[in-house]
Amino acid sequence: MNEFIVVLGWFGLYAPVAFGAIGSSWGCTLAGSAAIGAMLDSDGGYGRFVGVSLMPSSQVIYGIVIMFSLQRSSIDAANGAALFAIGVLSGATMLLTGIRQGEVLASAINASKAKPEIFGISLAPAAVLEGFSVFALVFALVLAGSIPA
């Protein structure tokens, strides 16, 4: 049983990076596809479309920070479950917020094709999702500090 908990701990250690990378790539793909479509329908402003399509890439950065904060602990039966829980739950947050952020950004890009003046305000929902990722990052860092070394 102890070996299984250690395996879960190792999985939890790397889960934030893996899930964050999946969420980032998926979200950037969704927003990037919308940006490419907007370039076909617009006469300018391509840089802003491409720039905001990269916004979901922050999820993998947060995942790397979480992984390094969890890595300070040795992985054994005493802390494997904690590493698993923190890593998987924060990683799942990065995965889902990255995907959803890409969807929101795709909608913002598509809407701003017709009404360019709403571009800035249409990014507010994506910023809220970014805030949820930051909350998960902060909670993971705080909880990682409570794991016995």
**pLDDT beyond 80 at 149:** no
- Helix, strand or coil, per DSSP, at residue 69: helix
What pLDDT score does 46 carry? 80
In Å, what is the CA distance from 18 to each residue of 13, 24, 28, 36, 117? 10, 10, 15, 26, 37
Domain of residue 124: give its range. Answer: 2-145
CA distance 142 to 81: 16
Where on the phi/psi map is residue 45: left (φ > 0), alpha (ψ -120 to 50), or beta? left
What pLDDT score does 125 carry? 94
| pLDDT tens profile 43-100 | 777 888 899 999 999 999 999 999 999 997 689 988 999 999 999 999 999 999 999 9
What pLDDT score does 116 carry? 87
Mean pLDDT check: name the lowest of 20-24, 53-57, 113-117, 135-139.
113-117
What pLDDT score does 9 carry? 95
Mean pLDDT computed over every residue of the chain: 93
CA distance 10 to 92: 16
What pLDDT score does 29 carry? 97
Report the CATH number that the domain containing residue 140 is assigned in CATH.
Answer: 1.20.120.610
Which residue bears the tokens 């998960």? 136
Mean pLDDT for the stretch of residues 102-121: 92
**pLDDT beyond 90 at 10:** yes
| pLDDT tens profile 69-79 | 999 768 998 89
Residues 92/20, Cβ–Cβ less than 8 Å: no
> Which has more pLDDT, 23 or 49?
23
HSE-CB of 17 using CA atoms within 13 angstroms: 11
What pLDDT score does 73 carry? 67
Close Cβ partners of 112 (under 8 Å, ≥ 6 residues apart): 38, 118, 119, 122
**pLDDT beyond 80 at 2:** yes
Instruction: Give me the number of domains the chain comprises.
Output: 1
